Copies of this chain bind each other. A is one copy, B any other.
Amino acid sequence: MAKVVILGAGLMGTAISVPLADNGHSVHLVGTHLDGDIIEEIHETRLHPRLRTRVADSVTPYTCDRLAEALQDADLVVLGVNSRGIRWAAEKLGPLLPPEVPVLAVTKGLDGDGQRLRILPDVFRAGLPAQSGERVPLAAIGGPSIAGELAARRHTCVVFTGWDQSLLDQLAALLRTPYYHIWTSTDVIGVEVAVALKNVYALAVGLVGGFLEKEGQADNGAVMHNLAAAIFAQGLAEIAYMVDYMGGQPRSVYTLPGAGDQYVTSMGGRNGRMGRLLGLGLPYSQAKARYMPEDTIEGAELAMAIGPTVEALIERGELDGAALPLLRTMIRIVCRDAPAEIPWDEFFAA
């Protein structure tokens, strides 16, 4: 049985401890500097307050200052931080991470530096000390996985992606359970781009909730599924374009990382709640400050992380703006408080 360290005691970081514990592994769950309350609560009650799930006895909670201790003899490190925490995690882990210990990231996102877009495994690697950065065996999890459902042992299907097939097989064997179904893919770019972008398109699908609330049901009971479906399809088409641009494979678009993850993320969650507020007519900055000040809205985070870079790449002619009308709209909504208006005429143009 392996000794696994999870860094980040948020929803997904903690949920991943469930299949690990069920498989008999010993887990050290290390909260980030923002997870102090969670770690304390798990210590006292064994319950994760937001996941509303009992943490297994084989999971030992640690506060961030004890990371070095928690890492001793680790066979695997799971990166459970969100996209904003990826650099912090690299900085913290860098000096402590023993060579050859693989890192498996649940983090989803893309990074833009104004010049180019990067997938998060590359950002993480770049944040490690030069020598270990090159050597650390890296993998990531993509696919439709609501943390609360995984924690409740509901059937969940995901893809482990990385450059080294034997590492992927080894990791899949560690985590696979009768409810946690794992496939592997060496299309790291395709998987990472799809699972990152789906957040911003789920935010777009979420707009429809607000539109519907404003307009109300029609006399015949009609809601707005047609509209949501069109936005969903435009989103997936834009993911296909971006995966291709970044050098990924089409298969990642129409399987779990693209279609599956975009579907599950469109079913609700924080992207959906923010989407509704935007669809009701609130500017993003107001909606965020007034109603969701403490929440990480991954779709909005992504728009902010890559917005200026995407626009710069379009400006330079490297990206085709006509292929990305919905992404550009969402970037304007999030970064510049633009009104939530669907650019129908620009859909499916490229």
Residues of A within 8 A of B (CB): 51-53, 143-146, 148-157, 181, 183, 218-230, 232-234, 236-237, 239-240, 250-251, 253-256, 258-261, 263-264, 266-268, 342, 344, 347-348
Tell me if A154 and B220 are in contact (CB < 8 A): no
| 28 interchain pairs, CB-CB under 8 A | A52-B220, A143-B233, A144-B225, A144-B229, A144-B233, A146-B225, A146-B226, A148-B222, A149-B218, A149-B222, A154-B224, A155-B224, A155-B230, A181-B347, A183-B348, A228-B264, A229-B261, A229-B263, A229-B267, A232-B260, A232-B263, A233-B259, A233-B260, A233-B263, A234-B255, A236-B254, A254-B259, A263-B266
State in angstroms the CA–CA spacing of A151 and B220 once bound together. Answer: 9
Q: Which of B145, B155, B228, B263 contacts A344 (CB 8 A)?
A: B155
Tell me if B51 and A220 are in contact (CB < 8 A): yes
Tell me if A152 and B218 are in contact (CB < 8 A): yes
- Cβ of A140 to closest chain B Cβ, rounded Å: 17
Tell me if A227 and B155 are in contact (CB < 8 A): yes
Tell me if A155 and B254 are in contact (CB < 8 A): no
Tell me if A144 and B230 are in contact (CB < 8 A): yes
Which residues of B sit under 8 angstroms from A232, Cβ to Cβ?
Answer: 259-260, 263
Tell me if B254 and A218 are in contact (CB < 8 A): no
State in angstroms the CA–CA spacing of A339 and B90 once bound together. Answer: 48
CB closest residue in chain B, given A257: B233
Which residues of B sit under 8 angstroms from A218, Cβ to Cβ?
Answer: 148-149, 152-154
Which residues of B sit under 8 angstroms from A239, Cβ to Cβ?
Answer: 254
Tell me if B230 and A157 are in contact (CB < 8 A): yes
Which residues of B sit under 8 angstroms from A266, Cβ to Cβ?
Answer: 263
Tell whether A255 pairs with B226 under 8 Å between CB atoms, given A157-B347, A220-B148, A220-B151.
Answer: no
State in angstroms the CA–CA spacing of A90 and B150 once bound together. Answer: 51
Tell me if A344 and B146 are in contact (CB < 8 A): no
Which residues of B sit under 8 angstroms from A260, Cβ to Cβ?
Answer: 229-230, 232-233
Which residues of B sit under 8 angstroms from A229, Cβ to Cβ?
Answer: 144, 157, 256, 260-261, 263-264, 267
- Cβ of A313 to closest chain B Cβ, rounded Å: 22
Which residues of B sit under 8 angstroms from A149, Cβ to Cβ?
Answer: 218, 222-227
CB closest residue in chain B, given A157: B230
State in angstroms the CA–CA spacing of A220 and B149 once bound together. Answer: 8
Tell me if B259 and A157 are in contact (CB < 8 A): no
Tell me if A264 and B144 are in contact (CB < 8 A): no
CB closest residue in chain B, given A238: B254
CB closest residue in chain B, given A215: B154
Which residues of B sit under 8 angstroms from A150, Cβ to Cβ?
Answer: 226
- Cβ of A166 to closest chain B Cβ, rounded Å: 19
Given contacts A154-B224, A230-B256, A233-B260, 4 further A-B contacts (CB under 8 A): A155-B342, A157-B229, A157-B344, A233-B256
**List of 6 A-B pairs having minimum Cβ-Cβ separation, nearest first:** A233-B260, A144-B229, A152-B218, A157-B230, A229-B264, A152-B222
Tell me if B263 and A154 are in contact (CB < 8 A): no
Which residues of B sit under 8 angstroms from A224, Cβ to Cβ?
Answer: 149, 154-155
State in angstroms the CA–CA spacing of A234 and B256 once bound together. Answer: 8
Tell whether A255 pairs with B233 under 8 Å between CB atoms, given A152-B218, A222-B151.
Answer: yes
